[in-house]
Amino acid sequence: MKFSLTWLKDHLETDASAEVIAEKLSAIGLELEGLEDPAARLAGFKVAKVLTAERHPNADKLQVLTVDTGDGEPLQVVCGAPNARAGLVGVLGLPGAVVPASGFELKKSAIRGVESNGMMCSTRELELGDDHDGIIELPADAPVGTSFAAYHGSDPVFDVAITPNRPDCMGVYGIARDLSAAGLGTLKPIAAQAVPGSFPCPIEIRTDDPEGCPAFHGRVIKGVKNGPSPDWIQTRLNSAGQRPISALVDLTNYLMLTYGRPAHAYDLAKLNGAVVARRAKDGETCLALNAKEYALDSTMTVIADNSGVHDIAGIMGGEHSGCSETTTDVLLEIAYFDPDRIGATGRKLGLTSDARQRFERGVDPAFLDAGLEILTNLIVGICGGAPSEVVRAGEVSKSTKIVSYNPALAESLGGVAIPDDEQRATLRALGFAADAKWNVIVPTWRPDVDGAPDIVEEVVRIHGLDRVTSTPLPRTGGVARPTATAAQKVERKVRRAAAARGLNEVVTWSFLPEAEAQHFAEGNSGLWVLANPISEDMKAMRPSLLPGLLSAAQRNLDRGAAALRLFELGRRYLRGDGGHSDERLTLGAVLAGEKVTRGWASGKAQMFDAFDAKAEALALLAEAGAPIDSLQVMGEAGPQFHPGQSGTLRLGPKTVLARFGMIHPATLKVFDIDAPVAAVELFLDAIPARKGVSGFARSAYAPPALQAVTRDFAFLVDAAMPAGDLVRAVKGADKANIVAVRVFDDFRGTGVPEGQKSLAVEVTLQPGEKSFDEAELKAIAERITAAAAKLGAVLRG
């Protein structure tokens, strides 16, 4: 949320500087994201007067101006604005100044052969408005030569991150209240002077949906004149990042941003019959102010008349009943909507707005009348008109929330001792009331406070979060016992191994857009969708680590990365038995771009392929303690992978330890990736625990006393047979003597029958107490040949 220092001082009487206020905001738990000083952005711009304006000799639409900057010798400036003329007082950007809107640094230059010493600026170029039709025209008495920042006023702008549990600070007044409680000034009372109605309200207002809209207040103001809002309103809205539209619209936005109270103004002439808060009918639609049409259903609350829906209640008004420059009579609406209903409707429609943010967090239900009176005073004072009597439909619950509190909790739970009288003063300044027995009455604008721990948070943060000392936990003497679990040890080992292999670790969100999550889900039953997500882009919990990695790859490839080797170690989330969340430790990796760049020795660039993904999977599984020699390579890596260039690594037909291969083109299209991508996903939770391992000591290293012997064998096998099958068969022919088997050749061509291939393997034999003799080597070779023959392999001559 953004607001200016002047806006804050409208409600907080203080002499504190912007820097002091910024520091205090963070100290009391209102995280400051930025403090912007417009004076720095306007450095190099001066109030200047045009002395002469002559037609450019080489361009019909340009003029050559002589400009007085107050520094003695006038400057020559080339200008194309249609309103540039002698006598105009405007804003000149001098060489070296940076234009805020474009970031362009002004320089002395020649434009169509005529020297120009800067630029006369428009409001859009200085980000002071949207007008770009001409240069700024200041009053004739504006002091020429003065810094424009000093003339315009330097009003620092705060940008504060408001957490979802603080709806009271979704308005400037709430932030002023917190700062006042922290001792940074005096909070000014809200001026909500009642405006008596001069005639009965001419339109019926009611609520037919007391659950979704418990209370609906409104009144008509006749004879208003809509036009641009005053400069002071526009200045405040601009500081908040809001674009001024018209006085009626701007004033409702001003009320919302100042007091956190959304409101709406309807053009009375565009309404037909009673205005009712009701449930929408299935199939009804609403053309919202963002020019988009939304399909509604009976779970949603709307504001409607006899003609149909005019407003998606609490979220966005309708386009056809909004106020315009021709509006003369308006209906003001201030209502209280159920936060859960607003949140559910916004998520279902994929529609967010400033009003929704406030209603779904919880606005002050007791501020209906005060908000309506403030808005009425503003409109009557600025736009004129005569207000009607107020109509109040429905009623908000006036039950008071009382929390039993013990001031000793500030130290036992909050970690800081705060005197009782200071705690009472803090609560009183924040709008709470505590009796002698510390029964605390919670103000209506604090729906987030439910129990004593919430009261602790209030008194501690106002006391100062920076004053809570860090106290280390006590540590017993002696050597610390290891606390890492077996799974944590595997996690650390695999992470280090991946990094050592040249993979770069990334950390992505555990939440995904629902469409991306669904693309990797194993049916609808396996997907967790949040009921109250942070945003629509974080609605589903990830069923795989690959979507986040693919998104990271896409961002890097779009920025020109030639090669990517990324991995992430984290949890994927599936629906377990009984509907509970099932978290599973997983490692994902993607390889994209060039494995080997082009060069005089390598020739063309070589891209990553499925075999690279398989190599990473095997290497990392080995580090995790998986029985690599017992793994089988099988298919069915999933629809996200290319069916002819992917596979799985399994222990038996059911236990899948990893899947690897090239990502399917359809999946790449979903993530807007043009380059081929190889991917790996290791299911570390599926690796069986090692049996018979106890203690922490490793076996002593005992290298064999005798040198190993290698023998080569070449077999003719069916062309479709995986090489791994032959390796396992050969290795199992003599487990006592064969210690390693490696494929070193795969030949298909002259001398090899059609439909077959020649696989050559190197077999390593390790003698024990004595060296092998010829008879023993021959017997081992016969066992190898016999084992291979069971697969249909024939030893080549």
Q: Are strands 794-795 and 402-404 parallel, antiparallel or unpaired?
A: unpaired
Contact present, 139 and 91 (Cβ < 8 Å): no
Contact present, 86 and 53 (Cβ < 8 Å): yes
Helix H, strand E, coil C: the string for 17-56 is: CHHHHHHHHHHCCCEEEEEECHHHHCCCEEEEEEEEEEEC
Angle between helices 172-181 and 247-259 (to 10 degrees): 30
Give the residue from 500, 787, 509, 447 showing the smallest Cα distance to 616.
500
Q: In the numeric block, which tokens belong to residue 238?
A: 């601009």
Task: Indicate the length of the chain as a whole number.
Answer: 797
- For residue 448, say whether it is annotated as part of any ligand binding site: yes
- In whole angstroms, what separates CA 772 from the centre of its chain? 67
CA distance 145 to 72: 10
Cα separation values, 747 from 308, 360, 484, 609, 771, Å: 76, 68, 49, 20, 33
Residues 6+ apart with CB under 8 A from 527: 514, 517, 518, 521, 540, 541, 543, 575
Residues 6+ apart with CB under 8 A from 252: 262, 263, 264, 265, 375
Instruction: Determine what percent of the chain falls in helix, strand and coil, rounding each to the nearest 5.
Output: 30, 30, 45
CB environment 386-400: b (16+ within 10 A), e (fewer): ebbebbebbebeeee
Contact present, 47 and 91 (Cβ < 8 Å): yes
Residues 6+ apart with CB under 8 A from 615: none
Element housing 770 (H / E): none
Element housing 579 (H / E): none
Contact present, 260 and 354 (Cβ < 8 Å): no
Please say whether the dihedral angle defined by the alpha carbons of residues 46, 49, 51 and 54, taken in this order, is positive or negative.
positive
Contact present, 715 and 758 (Cβ < 8 Å): yes
Residues 6+ apart with CB under 8 A from 752: 716, 758
Q: How far apart are the first and last CA of the chain?
A: 81
CB environment 280-310: b (16+ within 10 A), e (fewer): beeebebebbeeeebebeeebbbbbbeeebb
- For residue 457, say whether it is annotated as part of any ligand binding site: yes
Give the residue from 43, 44, 62 showing the smallest Cα distance to 53.
62
Which residues define the annotated binding site for Mg(2+)? 448, 454, 457-458
Which residues define the annotated binding site? 448, 454, 457-458
